[in-house]
């Protein structure tokens, strides 16, 4: 009897164990794989076509608004399998859209559900829907790139998978499934975050329900399924402010043919706007036909290296003030064109001038003298401290450009040109922005940040990307530099950058493009308001006349438009 009881106990234990195991497995399927099985069930029961151009997460601004201009537009959806009079449908589409009848027939000859690529206005939509023709309807269709996308060089674009080698490479990096002719990220955030952005399923479908043999159920209309979950895709939340980005791009479209603008939040180092010109249309139907190499439209000038010209004098001034070589009242003499080894831009010369006046007037001889007194190693050390060899951007893993090498400042004959931001000295507009922001921030360097978080679609916010500020110059030196930069805009070569009301502080730069040539890369970088800085802005105009004449007025216009 005792043996029988033990066996019963063991039997109950085994049954309970298997019950728990089965329940756990069922729970896992429902929770972890519920979307997958729900999709499989929907696929078995319907014929369907996606009502979104790409099954991908979005690139959003800091307020969760799409940057690519994602929008809904009416499109004609056709289900050839359930059409009662195909010829009538072909004629209707051709007549209403103006498309060639033969082209329409070719598109629909595949006998699969399809979204036609023709733009449809409200009047055309009514004409289609009034026909009440089975298998033909107009439905909202989500397009990824709108007519006026923003931050194109930051967001990037898509391209079609070209061959098996690329397909295999993608499959080895990203466990999500790909097919030949799929679209994948080619540049910018679309490329860097391909793994996170790519989805598994469309979230909106036009469907026709079918029987067990896959045949459409008679009499049932086409329906639109919305709100479907796609656990595979995530959104990339940037630090960009869409309104500020739009402001910057409007100004650039009027005033800058070639160049870049960066707007940074002074307190956080967040990039609020980043724009480059010339620009391209990111619509994959256009970009997929263009070679990226050698086409300047695809280059993000805000992350490209240029000689900074006299903006580099901020580095020399920071080093000289920190090392005790000068004070704002220290005297220099400028003899204009007679100066050796580098003459001043002012033909007559500035005569006897204080260091503060030399900075405000961007006097080359004074800074060549300071550069020689400091020596190359001190200049290199302060340039690095101010971020001019740091190409890292939080959330934007761009490939470093190894042409940037501050050690070249110490090369033979390089010190003189380097002291005025020419020769081997190279910097990006973003690096210049971070450097000037350090002055506005009291000597604390903030790593530029372009991506805030990766957010699963429909999920909770992801991990916030951030770093701590680093002190690179003393508060006193930062204050002195701020005073010098205020003189630039109040009474120096940057007067056209002065912002009425709150004021501004900054520095001009004019980097020569040719020996003795008239055109320069014109810079202005500064911040405002003076008493409580909110934004740091850098403007680069390639092939301008000078920083003070070309870039400074654009800086002012942007600053006046900022919230």
pLDDT confidence of residue 548: 97
CATH T-level fold of 305-454+463-561: Beta-lactamase (3.40.710)
Of the candidates 210, 234, 235, the residue with the CA atom closest to the CA atom of residue 223: 210
What digits encode the pLDDT tens for the residues 205-257? 998 888 877 777 777 788 888 888 888 899 999 999 999 999 999 999 999 99
pLDDT confidence of residue 115: 92
Task: Specify the pTM.
Answer: 0.89
Of the candidates 170, 182, 189, 168, the residue with the CA atom closest to the CA atom of residue 61: 189
CA distance 393 to 397: 7
CA distance 64 to 54: 19
206 vs 292, which has greater pLDDT? Answer: 206
The residue-averaged pLDDT of 468-486 equals: 98
Q: 562 pLDDT band (50/70/90 cuts)? A: very high
Residue 9 burial by CB count (10 A; 0-12/13-18/19+): exposed, middle or buried? exposed
Whether the per-residue pLDDT at 34 is higher than 70: the answer is no
pLDDT confidence of residue 288: 67
CA distance 231 to 391: 34
Return all residues near 78 (Cβ < 8 A) that are at least 6 apart: 89, 93, 108, 113, 114, 115, 116, 135, 136
Could you tell me the maximum CA-CA distance found in the chain, to the nearest angstrom?
119
Q: 280 pLDDT band (50/70/90 cuts)? A: very high
CA distance 504 to 269: 18
CA distance 400 to 392: 8
Architecture per CATH, 71-143+214-229 = Alpha-Beta Complex (3.90)
* Domain positions in the chain: 71-143+214-229, 305-454+463-561
Q: 82 pLDDT band (50/70/90 cuts)? A: confident
pLDDT confidence of residue 3: 60
pLDDT confidence of residue 13: 58
pLDDT confidence of residue 481: 99
pLDDT confidence of residue 440: 99
The DSSP result for 489-549, as a single string, is HHHSTTGGG--TTT--EEEEEEEESSTT-S-EEEEEEEEE-SSS--EEEEEEEEEES-III
Of the candidates 73, 77, 85, the residue with the CA atom closest to the CA atom of residue 128: 77
pLDDT confidence of residue 23: 46
Of the candidates 51, 33, 31, the residue with the CA atom closest to the CA atom of residue 41: 33
Spatial contact of 540 and 508, defined as CB atoms under 8 Å apart? no
pLDDT confidence of residue 322: 98
Percent residues over pLDDT 70 in the chain: 89
pLDDT confidence of residue 194: 95
CA distance 324 to 388: 22
Q: What are phi and psi of 364, to 5 degrees?
A: -65, -45
Ranking 3-12, 86-95, 209-218, 518-527 by mean pLDDT, the lowest is 3-12
95 vs 111, which has greater pLDDT? Answer: 95
Q: Which of 135-139, 258-262, 512-516 has the highest mean pLDDT?
A: 258-262
Q: What's the residue count for the chain?
A: 563
Which residue pairs, CB below 8 angstroms and at least 24 apart, start in 466-471? Answer: 466/394, 467/394, 469/269, 469/441, 469/444, 469/445, 470/444, 470/445, 471/443, 471/444, 471/445
The residue-averaged pLDDT of 464-486 equals: 96
Q: 33 pLDDT band (50/70/90 cuts)? A: very low
Whether the per-residue pLDDT at 10 is higher than 70: the answer is no
CA distance 528 to 535: 6
Q: Rounded mean pLDDT of the chain?
A: 88
pLDDT confidence of residue 28: 42
- Kindly give the interhelix angle for 376-385 and 313-322, rounded to the nearest 10 degrees: 110
pLDDT confidence of residue 36: 47
Whether the per-residue pLDDT at 354 is higher than 70: the answer is yes
pLDDT confidence of residue 141: 93
pLDDT confidence of residue 83: 76
Query: Does an H or E element contain 237, and which?
Result: strand 234-238
What digits encode the pLDDT tens for the residues 433-446? 999 999 999 999 99
The DSSP result for 331-399, as a single string, is EEEE-GGG-SSS--SSTT--EEEEHHHHHHTT-HHHHHHHHHHH-HHHHHHHHHHTTTT----BT--PP
Domains 71-143+214-229 and 305-454+463-561 share a fold: no
CA distance 170 to 161: 9
Q: In DSSP terms, which residues pair with 449 in a beta bridge?
A: 270, 394
Q: 277 pLDDT band (50/70/90 cuts)? A: very high
The 3-state DSSP class for residue 44 equals: helix
Two structure tokens written together for 19: 């019950």
CA distance 304 to 204: 40
Of the candidates 356, 357, 344, 434, the residue with the CA atom closest to the CA atom of residue 390: 434
91 vs 447, which has greater pLDDT? Answer: 447
Spatial contact of 342 and 368, defined as CB atoms under 8 Å apart? yes
Whether the per-residue pLDDT at 306 is higher than 90: the answer is yes
Whether the per-residue pLDDT at 88 is higher than 60: the answer is yes
Of the candidates 446, 327, 456, the residue with the CA atom closest to the CA atom of residue 394: 446
Two structure tokens written together for 239: 């630090």
482 vs 346, which has greater pLDDT? Answer: 482
The residue-averaged pLDDT of 527-545 equals: 98
Two structure tokens written together for 436: 């000037």
C-alpha distances in angstroms, 322 versus 170, 435, 436? 51, 16, 16
Ranking 153-157, 203-207, 240-244, 424-428 by mean pLDDT, the lowest is 203-207
The residue-averaged pLDDT of 59-66 equals: 96
Whether the per-residue pLDDT at 515 is higher than 90: the answer is no
CA distance 73 to 75: 6
Whether the per-residue pLDDT at 462 is higher than 90: the answer is no
pLDDT confidence of residue 109: 80
Q: 294 pLDDT band (50/70/90 cuts)? A: confident
C-alpha distances in angstroms, 263 versus 34, 248, 416, 422, 444? 44, 9, 31, 24, 18
The 3-state DSSP class for residue 41 equals: helix
Of the candidates 151, 190, 192, the residue with the CA atom closest to the CA atom of residue 393: 192
Spatial contact of 523 and 511, defined as CB atoms under 8 Å apart? yes
Query: Does an H or E element contain 485, and which?
Result: helix 475-491
């Amino acid at each position: 009897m005792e043996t029988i009881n033990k066996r019963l106990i063991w039997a109950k234990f085994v049954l309970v164990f298997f019950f728990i195991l089965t329940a756990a497995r069922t729970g896992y399927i429902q929770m972890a794989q519920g979307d997958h099985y729900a999709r499989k069930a929907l696929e078995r029961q319907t014929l369907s076509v996606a009502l979104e151009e790409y099954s991908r997460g979005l690139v959003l601004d800091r307020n969760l608004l799409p940057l690519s201009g994602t929008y809904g537009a009416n499109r004609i959806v056709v289900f050839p399998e359930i059409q009662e009079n195909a010829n009538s449908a072909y004629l209707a589409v051709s007549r209403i859209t103006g498309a060639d009848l033969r082209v329409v027939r070719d598109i629909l000859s595949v006998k699969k559900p399809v979204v036609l690529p023709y733009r449809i206005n409200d009047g055309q939509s009514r004409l289609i829907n009034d026909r009440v023709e089975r298998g033909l309807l107009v439905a909202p269709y989500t397009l990824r790139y709108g007519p006026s996308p923003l931050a194109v060089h930051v967001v990037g674009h898509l391209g079609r998978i070209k061959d098996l080698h690329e397909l295999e490479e993608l499959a080895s990096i990203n466990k999500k499934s790909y097919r030949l002719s799929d679209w994948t990220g080619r540049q910018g955030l679309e490329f860097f975050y391909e793994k996170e952005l790519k989805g598994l399923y469309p979230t909106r479908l036009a469907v026709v329900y079918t029987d067990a043999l896959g045949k459409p159920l008679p009499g049932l209309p086409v329906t639109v399924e919305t709100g479907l979950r796609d656990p595979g895709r995530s959104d990339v939340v940037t630090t960009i402010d869409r309104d500020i980005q739009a402001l910057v791009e409007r100004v650039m479209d009027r005033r800058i043919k070639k160049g870049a603008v960066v707007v940074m939040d002074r307190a956080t180092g967040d990039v609020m706007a980043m724009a480059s010109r010339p620009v391209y249309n990111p619509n994959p139907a256009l970009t997929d036909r263009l070679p990226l190499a050698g086409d300047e439209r695809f280059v993000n000038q805000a992350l490209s290296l240029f000689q900074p010209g006299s903006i580099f004098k901020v580095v020399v001034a920071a080093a000289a003030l920190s090392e005790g070589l000068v004070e704002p009242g220290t005297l220099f003499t400028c003899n204009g064109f007679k100066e050796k080894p580098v003459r001043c831009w002012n033909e007559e010369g500035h005569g006897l001038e204080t260091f503060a006046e030399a900075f405000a007037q961007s006097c080359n001889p004074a800074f060549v003298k300071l550069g020689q007194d400091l020596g190359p190693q001190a200049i290199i050390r302060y340039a690095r401290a101010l971020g001019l060899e740091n190409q890292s951007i939080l959330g934007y893993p761009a490939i470093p450009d190894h042409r940037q090498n501050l050690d070249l400042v110490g090369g033979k004959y390089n010190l003189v040109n380097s002291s005025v931001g020419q020769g081997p000295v190279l910097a990006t507009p973003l690096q210049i922005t971070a450097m000037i922001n350090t002055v506005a921030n009291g000597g604390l360097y903030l790593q530029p940040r372009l991506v805030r978080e990766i957010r699963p679609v429909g999920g909770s916010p992801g991990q916030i990307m951030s770093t701590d500020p680093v002190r690179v110059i003393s508060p006193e030196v930062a204050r002195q530099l701020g005073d010098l930069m205020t003189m630039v805009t109040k009474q120096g070569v940057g007067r056209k950058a002065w912002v009425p009301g709150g004021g501004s502080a900054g520095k001009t730069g004019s980097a020569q493009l040719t020996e003795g040539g008239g055109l320069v890369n014109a810079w202005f970088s500064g911040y405002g308001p003076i008493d409580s800085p909110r934004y740091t802005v850098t403007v680069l105009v390639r092939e301008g006349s000078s920083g003070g004449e070309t870039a400074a007025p654009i800086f002012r216009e942007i600053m006046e438009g900022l919230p």
